[in-house]
């Protein structure tokens, strides 16, 4: 436990020692803020229009601002995650510091978990930027809190999966650019899977659709906490980290 | 303390280490010597549990590297060829991290960090980023990392590479002070290093064990013969080098005469004797009897360099011979 914590803290420190953490947080904050601005503006206009026509429109901050925004955040995360995970192992390998980790009395699993938690911590910091905007809604409006929490949980779980996949890919190469690039394409592919099968009802399409990481987020963004989605994400996290430990073992046999 | 038996490591196409066996006693400093690519680093990586052996066993500090890697890792300090440092960390921060990773409790860590920083003279760079340090300092940070948890066994891969002469002397003194309660294996391709800091040498060449002995025995065993440098005055082109060489070769006990470049009307030769023969008196007599002026004669010791070359070259020759034999 202590070793995982040590490595996690070290990882987080090194993210913040380089510009990468600040860049990710700033850009995510900017993009999310832009999305927030347009969504809020549209809702305000819509409500004025409705008033002028003397209608009582069904206005809902959760439905009209928070849900699309956090859905958007989950898509943006697909692009940020490769930048978080690409260095995890690739950098250790190219610097030779992997020799320090692997010859210290620390198990592979502790190293992997430490790195994954470190990446998660940065991801949480990045997501936290969106809370500035969501916080404004809570300050001046009365959105429902529970669906927001569920959506954030969904973002965390989805991020955890993708981070796991990214860490796995990073163990396979010394080159950060390759690690980042491949992770990006895998993320993109997992996203596209959901488009691919949108109107298809065959069994194969159902399976492919089930594998799409983005599909499972939809329920979360609606504020619906379904066990099948949580289990999907948790098993994906477990599976990717398990493969990472296998990949590290093979690293030893081949290296 | 370290016991290696029949250790081999094969990569996909190459055999990096081929059936090596050796033992290192507690408190010894052993030099691991070999040309580049001989398998030194691979052997060390097996000993540190970084790589598993293909066959054979390695036992470090009483534990097998395959069966009980955690126990082994707790008891070793390892400095790889490139110091495993994080450029974005400060020196003290890095040492604290590695120390804790190696199991030093939070109560002791600060004291240990100060101690190793003192030992490796890192005090003045305490709060500098490692990325900004020179190669010599990084090497010392790497060494500090290896000794921070006071391990039983220290495995150092070329610990003095990239250091200036003063630092090398400091590191040697440090290693000497560590020997006794630590067992140290250090690899190097610099021979004077082994001569100065090690008690025993393990020479490997192309993955095979070429020799294993104390530095003293090794030099003696291979020295056996003595080498003498002879200088003879030659006025107006007489005698000719060939003449002298011929005459020197006839002296009993001489195995080989090499003509060196002569200058200022002086001829230089290097004469090697057969094993256990003293040839200096006979040489002098022979030169004087021929009516030449003997201006200088001194014994030249065979250095470890020569021995090393002899050993590794012998290996190569025999390999070539077997290869030729196979093609025939």
Q: Band the pLDDT of B269: cuts 50, 70, 90.
A: confident
In chain A, the residue whose alpha carbon lies closest to the alpha carbon of B71 is A105
Q: Residue A110: list chain B partners with CB under 8 A.
A: none
Residues 11-40 of A with CB under 8 A from B: 13-14, 17-18
d(CA B286, CA B283): 5
Q: What ipTM goes with this model? A: 0.87
Partner residue facing B73 (CB), from A10, A17, A103: A103
Quote the domain boundaries for residue A148.
2-254
Distance CA A248, CA B90 (A): 28
Per the CB < 8 Å rule, is A96 touching B80? Answer: yes
Query: Under CATH, which number does the domain B2-221 receive?
Result: 3.40.50.300
| Distance in angstroms (rounded) separating the CA atoms of residues A166 and A112 | 12
Question: Given B51, B98, B103, which is nearest A100 (Cβ)?
Answer: B98
Cα(A244)–Cα(A223) distance, rounded to whole angstroms?
32
**Inter-chain CB proximity A103 and B88 less than 8 Å:** no
- Chain B residues contacting A via beta carbons under 8 Å: 11-12, 45, 48-52, 70, 73-74, 76, 78, 80-89, 97-98, 100-103, 145
Cβ within 8 Å, pair A96-B89: no
Neighboring chain A residues of B81 at a CB cutoff of 8 Å: 96
Check CB contact under 8 Å for A100 and B103.
Answer: no
- CATH 3.10.20.30 given to domain B226-300: no
Q: Which whole number is the average pLDDT over A22-41?
A: 93
Determine which of A2, A6, A99 to mutate to test the interface with B (most B C-beta atoms within 10 Å). A99
pLDDT value for B286:
87
Is residue B240 within 8 A of residue B247, CB to CB? The reply is: no
Q: In what order do the strands lie in the sheet with B63-64?
A: B15-24, B2-10, B55-60, B63-64
The mean pLDDT value for B202-222 works out to: 77
Residues of B in contact with A94 (CB under 8 A): none
Comparing alpha-carbon positions, the chain B residue that sits nearest to A254 is B11
If we measure between CA atoms, which residue out of A121, A123, A148, A122 comes closest to residue A135?
Answer: A148
Which tens digits make up the pLDDT trace of A127-184?
A: 999 998 888 888 888 888 888 999 999 999 999 999 999 999 999 999 999 999 999 9
A107 to chain B: closest CA residue: B70
* Lookup result for tokens 């004469």: B271
Residue A246's pLDDT is 92
Cβ atoms of residues A168 and A242 within 8 Å: no
What is the structure's pLDDT at B328? 44
pLDDT over threshold 80, residue A206: no
Domain boundaries, chain B: 2-221, 226-300
Total number of domains constituting chain A: 1
Looking at per-residue confidence, does B165 or B324 come out higher? B165
Please list every residue in chain B whose beta carbon sits closer than 8 Å to the beta carbon of residue A97. Answer: 84-86
Using CA coordinates, name the residue in chain A closest to B148: A104
Closest CA–CA distance from residue A209 to any residue of chain B (Å): 40
Please name the member of A13, A105, A252 whose beta carbon is closest to the beta carbon of B74. Answer: A105
User: Which of the 8 DSSP states describes residue A105?
Assistant: S
Residue B124, min C-alpha distance to chain A (Å): 22
Give chain B's mean pLDDT.
82
- Nearest chain A residue (CA) to B99: A104
Contact residues, chain A, for B12 at CB < 8 Å: 254
Cα nearest neighbour of B93 on chain A: A10
Question: From CA A36, how far away is CA A4, in angstroms rounded?
Answer: 37
Contacts of B76 in chain A (CB under 8 A): 103
Count how many pairs of residues, chain A against chain B, have C-beta atoms within 8 Å.
Answer: 71
Q: How far is CA B210 from the centre of its chain?
A: 13
Q: What is the pLDDT of residue B320?
A: 54
Q: Note whether A96 contacts B73, CB cutoff 8 Å.
A: no
Residue B225 has pLDDT above 70, yes or no: no
Q: Scanning every residue of chain B, which has its alpha carbon at the shortest distance from the alpha carbon of A16?
A: B88
Q: Quick count: other Cβ atoms within 10 Å of Cβ B298?
A: 10
d(CA B156, CA B44): 8
Query: Are A104 and B97 in contact (CB < 8 Å)?
Result: no
pLDDT digits (tens, 9 = 90+) for A40-96: 898 888 888 888 887 766 777 788 888 888 888 888 988 899 999 999 999 999 998
Interchain CB distance below 8 Å, A106 and B98: no
Q: d(Cα A178, Cα A176) in Å, to the nearest integer?
A: 5
Q: What is the pTM of this model?
A: 0.82
* Residue B85 with chain A: CB contacts under 8 Å: 95, 97
Of A52, A58, A252, A68, the C-alpha closest to A171 is A252
Per-residue tokens: B85:
């440092």
Q: pLDDT tens, B129-179?
A: 999 998 888 988 999 999 999 899 999 998 887 778 888 888 888 888 887
Residue with tokens 């006693």: B25
Would you call A97 and B73 a contact, using CB atoms and an 8 Å cutoff? no
């Amino acid at each position: 436990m202590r070793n995982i914590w040590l490595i996690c803290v070290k990882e987080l420190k090194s993210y913040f020692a380089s510009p990468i953490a600040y860049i990710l947080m700033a850009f995510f904050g900017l993009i999310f803020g832009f999305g927030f601005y347009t969504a809020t503006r549209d809702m305000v206009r819509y409500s004025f229009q409705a008033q002028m026509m003397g209608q009582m429109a069904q206005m809902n901050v959760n439905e009209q601002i928070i849900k699309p925004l956090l859905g958007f955040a989950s898509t943006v995360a697909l692009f940020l995650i490769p930048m978080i995970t690409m260095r995890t192992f690739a950098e250790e390998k190219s610097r030779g510091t992997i020799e320090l980790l692997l010859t210290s009395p620390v198990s592979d699993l502790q190293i992997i978990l430490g790195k994954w938690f470190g990446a998660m911590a940065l991801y949480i910091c990045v997501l936290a930027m969106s809370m500035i905007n969501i916080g404004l809604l809570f300050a001046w409006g009365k959105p429902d809190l529970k669906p927001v929490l569920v959506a954030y949980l969904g973002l965390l779980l989805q991020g955890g999966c993708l981070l796991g996949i990214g860490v796995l890919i990073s163990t396979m190469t010394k080159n950060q650019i390759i690690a980042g690039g491949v992770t990006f394409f895998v993320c993109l592919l997992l996203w596209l899977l959901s488009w691919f099968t949108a109107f298809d009802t065959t069994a194969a399409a159902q399976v492919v659709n089930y594998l799409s990481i983005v599909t499972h987020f939809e329920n979360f963004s609606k504020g619906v906490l379904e066990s099948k989605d949580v289990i999907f994400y948790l098993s994906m996290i477990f599976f990717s980290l398990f493969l990472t430990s296998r990949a590290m073992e093979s690293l030893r046999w081949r290296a | 303390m370290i016991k290696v038996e029949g250790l081999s490591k094969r990569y996909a196409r190459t055999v990096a280490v081929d059936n090596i066996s050796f033992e290192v006693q507690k408190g010894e400093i052993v030099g691991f010597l070999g040309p580049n690519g001989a398998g030194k680093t691979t052997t060390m990586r097996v000993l540190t549990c970084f790589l598993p052996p293909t066959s054979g066993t390695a036992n470090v500090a009483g534990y097998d590297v395959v069966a009980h890697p955690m126990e082994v890792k707790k008891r070793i300090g390892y400095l790889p060829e490139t110091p495993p440092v994080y450029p974005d960390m400060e020196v003290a921060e890095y040492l604290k991290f590695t120390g804790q990773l190696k199991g030093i409790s939070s109560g002791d860590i600060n004291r240990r960090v100060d101690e190793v920083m003192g030992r490796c003279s890192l005090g003045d760079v305490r709060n500098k980023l490692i990325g900004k340090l020179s190669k010599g300092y990084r090497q010392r940070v790497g060494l500090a990392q290896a000794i921070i948890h006071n391990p039983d066994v220290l495995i150092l891969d070329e610990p003095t590479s990239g250091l200036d002469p003063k630092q090398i002397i400091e590191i040697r003194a440090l290693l000497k002070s560590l020997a006794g309660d630590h067992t140290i294996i250090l690899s190097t391709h610099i021979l004077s290093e082994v001569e100065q800091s090690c008690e025993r040498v393990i020479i490997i060449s192309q993955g095979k064990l070429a020799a294993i002995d104390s530095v003293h025995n090794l030099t003696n065993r291979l020295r056996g013969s003595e080498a003498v440098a002879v200088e003879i005055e030659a006025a107006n082109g007489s005698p000719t080098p060939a003449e002298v060489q011929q005459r020197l070769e006839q002296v009993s006990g001489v195995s080989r005469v090499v003509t060196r470049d002569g200058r200022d009307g002086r001829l230089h030769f290097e004469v090697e004797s057969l094993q256990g023969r003293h040839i200096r008196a006979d040489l002098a007599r022979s030169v004087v009897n021929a009516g030449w002026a003997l201006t200088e004669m001194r014994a030249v010791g065979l250095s470890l360099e020569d021995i090393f070359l002899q050993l590794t070259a012998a290996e190569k020759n025999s390999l070539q011979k077997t290869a030729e034999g196979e093609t025939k």
